[in-house]
Structure 1
Amino acid sequence: MVFARVHQTAEGDLLPQKLAEYYGVGAVPGFEGRASDPRRGHLPELMGLRGVAILIVVCGHLLQRVERFYGETSLVAWEKFLFNVLATPFTGCRLLFFISGYALMISLQDKGQSSHRSSAAIEIKKRFLRIWPPYFMVLAATLLFLSATGYKPSGTYQFESKPDSLVVSFLFSLVFLHDLIFDTFPRLFPPGWYLEVHVQFFLVGAWVWRWYLKIRAGAARLSIGVMLLILFLLVSSLAMEYGSRGIRYSVIAFMPYFWAGALLADFRIHRDGDQIDRALRRVWLVGWLGLAALIILGAPFGDALVQLSGQVICLGLIIRASFVGRTNFQRALVSRWLAKVGVASYSIYLVHLQILQVVIELVVINFRQFPVFMLVALCVFWGLSAVMAVSFLFYWLVERPWMVVALRASPSSETSDAGSRKEKTFFAL
Structure 2
Amino acid sequence: MQPFPAYFCSLLQSLGRRPSSGRYRPELDGLRCMAILIVMIWHASLKIMRFTATSGITESVDNPKVAWIPDGAVGVALFFFLSGMVICRPFLSGTYHTTKRSLQDFYRSRLIRIVPPYALVLLSCYLVIGVLGHTPERASTFEVKQISPAASLGASLFYLHGLIFSSPPRLSPPGWSLEIEMQFYLIAPALIVAYLALRHRMSRLLLGIAVIIGSVVLRLWLVETYGEYGRFRWTLLNYFPVFMLGIVVADLTRAEEVRPSHETLPDMLCLGSVLLLLLPGIFRHPVGWTERLAADAATLAALVGLYYGVTRGRIANRLFSLRALTIIGTACYSIYLTHVPLMHFVGQLFFKLVQVGDYPSAWSLGLLLLLPLSLIFGMIFHILVERPFVQLAANRPVPEIRGIAIRS
Distance, in Å, in 2 between the alignment partners of 1:31 and 1:62 is 30
Name 2:136's counterpart in structure 1. 153
> 1:43 maps to what in 2?
25
Query: Which residue matches 1:266?
Result: 251
Is 1:391 aligned to 2:374, yes or no? no
* Alpha-carbon distance, 1:357 to partner: 0.8
> CA, structure 1 residues 89+121, in 2 after alignment: closer, same or farther (shift >3 Å)?
same
* Secondary structure class of the residue paired with 1:159: helix
Deviation at 1:238, TM superposition (A): 2.1
Residue 338 of structure 2 corresponds to residue 351 of structure 1? yes
Q: What is the SS of the residue equivalent to 1:153?
A: coil
Moved more, 333-342 or 237-246: 237-246
* Structure-2 change in CA distance of 1:292 and 1:346 (3 Å): same
Residue 86 of structure 1 aligns to a residue in which SS? Answer: coil
Moved more, 162-171 or 396-405: 162-171
Distance 1:285 1:72 in 2: 43
Match of 1:168 in 2: 151
Establish whether residue 54 from structure 1 lines up as the match of residue 36 from structure 2: yes
Q: 1:64 touches 1:87 (CA, 8 Å); kept in 2?
A: no
Q: Which residue of 1 aligns with 2:276?
A: 293
Is the deviation greater in 88-97 or in 388-397? 388-397
Distance between the aligned counterparts of 1:89 and 1:128, measured in 2?
A: 25
* Inter-CA distance 112–349: structure 2 relative to 1 (3 Å threshold): closer
Equivalent residue for 1:35? Answer: none
Offset at 1:369? 3.3
Choose from 298, 314, 318 the match for 1:331: 318
> 1:403 offset after TM fit, Å?
1.0
Q: Deviations over 1:95-152 (max 9, x none)?
A: 1001011112222111266232221121111111111111111111111111343221
- Of residues 335, 359, 366 in structure 2, which corresponds to 1:372? 359
Greater shift in the superposed pair: 144-153 or 241-250 = 241-250
CA contact (8 A) 1:45 1:333 kept: yes
Confirm or deny: 8 A CA contact 1:344 1:395 kept in the other structure: yes
Moved more, 284-293 or 397-406: 284-293
Q: Give the 3-state SS of the residue equivalent to 1:189 in structure 2.
A: coil
Shift of 1:380: 0.7
Counterpart of 1:199 in structure 2 is 182
Distance 1:231 1:47 in 2: 30
- Any conservation in 1 of the 2:141–2:170 contact (CA below 8 Å)? yes
CA gap 1:58/1:273 in 2 versus in 1, 3 angstroms: closer
Alignment correspondent of 2:310: 322
Q: Of the candidates 217, 232, 239, which is equivalent to residue 247 of structure 1?
A: 232
Q: Secondary structure at the match of 1:61?
A: helix
- Distance in 2 (CA, whole Å) between partners of 1:352 and 1:144 is 17
Pick closer, same or farther for the CA change 1:227–1:149 going to 2, 3 Å.
Answer: same
| Alignment-mate amino acid for residue 230 of structure 2 | R
Counterpart for residue 107 of structure 1:
90
C-alpha contact (below 8 Å) 1:160/1:187 kept by paired residues: no
- RMSD value over aligned CA atoms? 2.9
Q: Which of 144-153 and 60-69 deviates more?
A: 144-153
Q: Which residue of 2 aligns with 1:306?
A: 294
2:104 to 112, 121, 124: 121
Q: Deviations over 1:382-418 (max 9, x none)?
A: 1012212211111111111111111129xxxxxxxxx
Q: Which position in structure 2 is the counterpart of 1:425?
A: none
What displacement does 1:219 show?
A: 1.6
- The amino acid of 1:119's aligned partner reads S
Match of 1:11 in 2: none
Q: Distance in 2 between matches of 1:286 and 1:45?
A: 15
Cα separation, 2, equivalents of 1:212 and 1:369: 55
* Contact kept in structure 2, 1:217 and 1:270, CA below 8 Å: no
Separation in 1 of the partners of 2:262 and 2:322? 23
Unaligned runs of 5+ residues in structure 2 are: 3-10, 56-61, 397-408
| Matching residue's letter, 2:368 | F
- Quote the Cα distance in structure 2 between the aligned partners of 1:367 and 1:188: 27
One-letter code of the match for 2:343?
L
Counterpart residue type for residue 60 of structure 1: W
Corresponding position: 1:68 with 2:50: yes
Q: 1:112 to 1:87 in 2, by over 3 A?
A: closer
Q: Is the 8 A contact 1:367 1:375 kept in 2?
A: no
Deviates more, 1:171-180 or 1:261-270: 261-270
Q: Give, as a single letter, the amino acid of the residue that structure 1 aligns with 2:239.
A: F
Match in the other structure for 1:257: 242
Q: Give the conservation status (yes or no) of the 8 Å contact 1:163–1:169.
A: no
Contact 1:113-1:210 within 8 A present in 2 as well: no
Question: How many residues of Structure 1 are paired with residues of Structure 2 in the alignment?
Answer: 375
Q: Is the 8 A contact 1:240 1:253 kept in 2?
A: no
Deviations 1:343-363 (A, max 9, x none): 111110111001111222333
Instruction: Please report how far the alpha carbon of residue 247 of structure 1 lies from its aligned counterpart in structure 2 after TM superposition.
Output: 1.3
| Alpha-carbon distance in 2 for matches of 1:116, 1:219 | 27
- Within a 5 Å distance, the mapping from 1:268-287 to structure 2 comes to 268-269=253-254, 281-282=264-265, 284-287=267-270
SS of residue paired to 2:324? helix
SS of equivalent residue, structure 2 residue 139 = coil
| 1:87 CA drift (Å) | 4.8
Residue equivalent to 1:182: 165
- Which secondary structure state, in structure 1, belongs to the residue aligned with residue 77 of structure 2? helix
Deviations, residues 186-242 of structure 1 (Å, cap 9, x unaligned): 111111111100000011122111110111132222111111111111112223333
Q: CA separation of 1:382/1:112 partners in 2, compared to 1, >3 Å: closer, same or farther?
A: closer
TM-score normalised according to structure 2 size: 0.84
Inter-partner Cα distance in structure 2 for 1:396 and 1:82: 36
| Paired position in structure 2 for 1:237 | 220
State the secondary structure of the residue aligned to 2:214.
helix
Q: Is there any run of 5+ residues in structure 1 with no aligned partner, and where? A: 3-22, 33-38, 74-78, 410-429
CA distance in 2, matches of 1:405, 1:113: 18
